[in-house]
Amino acid sequence: MAKRHEGYQYAGCPVEAALEIIGAKWKGGTIYHLLSGEKRFSELRRQMPSVSQRILSKALKELEADGIVVRTVYPALPPQVGYKLTPRGELLRGAVLALRAWGGDHLQREEPFATAAE
């Protein structure tokens, strides 16, 4: 299977390469919610009420194409689909939890961070 980013030049920057795959607005949250285990599409929608169905579906398809999540279709009426992290996706656990800690700290600060110009 061809990789989605085949031919893209990362200019030797591994951070740029990682953000190209997980940096879209809803992908980080999706990965974060999948850290606790497999979720149905509707569960992810409930946990991220601000994301539209179309955008979440697109993010999941891209994460699947990049080998970060695996999609499993369960035989039921109506058909149910589950998503979970692949072993490659699990390697993001430390990075996502570090971003969660930083984000929580950032949200609790009363004063905004100083800018580089100050």
41: domain CATH number?
Answer: 1.10.10.10
**Residue 73 belongs to a domain:** yes
Strands (E), 1-118: 39-40, 69-74, 80-85
**Residue 4 belongs to a domain:** no
Instruction: Say if residue 60 is exposed, middle or buried (CB neighbours under 10 Å; 0-12, 13-18, 19+).
Output: buried
**Residue 66 belongs to a domain:** yes
Query: What backbone torsions phi and psi does residue 77 show, to the nearest 5 degrees?
Result: -120, 115
**Residue 34 belongs to a domain:** yes
Q: What percent of the chain has pLDDT above 70?
A: 82
**Residue 1 belongs to a domain:** no
**Residue 6 belongs to a domain:** no
pLDDT in tens, 11-49: 667 887 788 888 888 999 999 999 999 999 999 999 999
DSSP state of 3: -
Q: Taking the C-alpha atoms of 18, 21, 25 and 29 in order, what is their torsion angle to the nearest 10 degrees?
A: -80
Token digits of residue 41: 């599409």
Question: What predicted TM-score, i.e. pTM, was given to this entire model?
Answer: 0.80
Residue 2: predicted pLDDT: 46
Between 10 and 94, residue with greater pLDDT: 94
Overall number of domains in the chain: 1
**Residue 9 belongs to a domain:** no
Query: What backbone torsions phi and psi does residue 72 show, to the nearest 5 degrees?
Result: -120, 125
Residue 3 banded pLDDT, cuts 50, 70, 90: low
Tell me which residue range forms the domain holding 86.
14-108
**Residue 3 belongs to a domain:** no
